[in-house]
Amino acid sequence: VHLHFELRKGGTPVNPLTHGLPVPDTQPPRIKRLLAVPFTPDAHVDQAHDAAEFHFRDGTLAGPVRVSGDVRLLVEAPDRIDGSERDLTPLSVELKIDGRRWHRSVYEAVSYADTRHTELDFDAERNAHREGLFNKLYAEGPRVRAHQPGGKLLTRLRPGDHAAEIIATDAAGNRTTARFTLHVERPAPPCVVKRARLRLPKAMPTAAGPRAWRGTTLVVPTPELCAGRAARVDVRINKKRAKGWRATRLRGQPALALTLPADRSATVEIGHAPADGPATWVRLESFPVVPGGDVERGPVALEIGEDSLFFEYPSEVWTVPNPGGDGLEAVSPVYRFGNAWRPGKGYNTVRLKRTTPAAEGPHVGVYLHDRGRFWRLGGLEKGDWLQAGTVHLGDLALMRDVSDPVIGDPYLDTHPAGPRLVVPVKEQGAGLAKVTVTVDGRPVPLELQRAFDRGLWLPARRPAPGPHVIEIEARDRSGRAASKRATVIWPAP
């Protein structure tokens, strides 16, 4: 059991480490990694559109960070207080370039109740995947209070080398500085490409993945783009020839980067051909994620909450094979959304349609695939559809829970306040919804610790020595249930 609370001074929420809760802290923050993310079609990190990580050693990087265009920087800088192994966020993080302040975030006044102060300062996807908490060294969305100033774009820098430093300071005044060289260069495309009008075929396949999304920028792998000399390229958005696209690299392959509208659907058609050969075409469909918007794409439907977004953005959905999961049966492919894990502040409704007989019947729900496993979001029946709520778009699928909860033999262990009852209980599929325990027919309050696959009961008044009948019922989130009856011998004081 844990509590969330906040301190306020003059009605304003304040950092508890700087107001009223003195704790020993002699450890400065640790600046571990720098993350550089291209954000526009003409942006690159080391002449590619891949996000790149750089590891600091002794406060420096081994070589320069080579960028061009609108590249956004983030830093992983965890902080700890003495005697604790829990990572905290520094009180402030600052980026300086050529001795001038470029961006500074100060977490002096942040409220849990203010939804505008969630997810806008960090890389939401890496945080959700437990890949590290990266502070943004730029401002995005309606985050005003913490930014002093709100960050400048790297596009303001002239080509050449620039001395950069990141300063992380904790609430006790401990400070760490990391330095690196930022090398601004002009982009170099993977090959010579020429804008041309190519003949449209009667039919064209859907673009193959995996693609990359950066806000309104879409990067589509085009492996054969550089196979011939002087490639000709034709990009069309909603039947009109598009401008502003760029040839780039993604995951070591040639690719095309383009900007898509955030407020309306788009049909994207991409054709390329060598100077003296036939054209190859692919297409894809994007849709807008806007407040109050409704989207339906085949077996997938979305209802975007009126106040669930910080900003509009484009997305798409396509299918990938379902890997299955422990205790679960796959009854649909995985529906993968583009621009997943954009920062959000409220729930959206997602519905997946039962399109095969395998998806009929009980214990089927909507699941999110993340970190190698499936997490149940819900499963409210709406005709042929199953409905759930989600803040972020991601990898969604219909799964059937095929495993009951597993209840182990209850036992007693020692505690400073006396013996306590331990109930082992595990659920591999949908996750536990409720566990009830009675002792000699009387319900007892159980502390359910899902992370440790157990429930605990520490009685306020010690039961009488001798045998006691323990009855346990466990139900998972898909409706599957299990029960067990056992006897535990309570010791004498």
Predicted local distance difference test score (pLDDT) of residue 118: 63
CB atoms within 10 A of CB 19: 14
Predicted local distance difference test score (pLDDT) of residue 388: 97
CATH code, 193-285: 2.60.40
Q: List Cβ<8 Å contacts ≥24 apart for 329-332.
A: 329/358, 329/399, 329/400, 329/402, 330/397, 330/399, 331/356, 331/358, 331/359, 331/364, 331/398, 331/399, 331/400, 332/299, 332/356, 332/359, 332/397, 332/398, 332/399
Averaged over 99-122, what is the pLDDT? 76
Confidence of residue 150 (pLDDT cuts 50, 70, 90): low
Q: pTM of the predicted model, to two decimals?
A: 0.88
CATH 2.60.40.1220 location in the chain: 406-490
Least confident of 226-230, 239-243, 373-377, 390-394: 226-230
pLDDT averaged over the chain? Answer: 91
CATH 2.60.220.30 location in the chain: 290-401
Q: Is the confidence at residue 116, as pLDDT, over 60?
A: no
Q: Is there a contact between 459 and 444 (Cβ–Cβ < 8 Å)? A: yes
Predicted local distance difference test score (pLDDT) of residue 343: 87
- Parallel, antiparallel, or unpaired for β 231-237 and 193-195? parallel
Q: Is there a contact between 79 and 30 (Cβ–Cβ < 8 Å)? A: yes
Averaged over 213-217, what is the pLDDT? 95
Confidence of residue 44 (pLDDT cuts 50, 70, 90): very high
Q: Which amino acid is at 245?
A: W
Tell me the sheet residues that pair with 382.
Answer: 385
Tell me the sheet residues that pair with 435.
Answer: 474
CATH code, 406-490: 2.60.40.1220
Q: How far apart are CA 282 and CA 315, in angstroms?
A: 17
> Can you say whether residue 173 is alpha, beta or left, with left for phi > 0 and alpha for psi between -120 and 50 degrees?
left
- Give the burial class of 382: count Cβ atoms within 10 A of its Cβ; 0-12 exposed, 13-18 middle, 19 or more buried: exposed
Q: Is the confidence at residue 283, as pLDDT, over 80?
A: yes
Q: What percent of the chain stands above pLDDT 90?
A: 73
Q: Is the confidence at residue 151, as pLDDT, over 80?
A: no
> Can you say whether residue 377 is alpha, beta or left, with left for phi > 0 and alpha for psi between -120 and 50 degrees?
alpha
Predicted local distance difference test score (pLDDT) of residue 143: 61
The tokens for 175 are: 């400070």
Q: Is the confidence at residue 22, as pLDDT, over 70?
A: yes
Q: H or E segment at 425? A: strand 420-426
Averaged over 307-334, what is the pLDDT? 94
Confidence of residue 381 (pLDDT cuts 50, 70, 90): very high
CATH 2.60.220.30 for the 290-401 domain, yes or no = yes
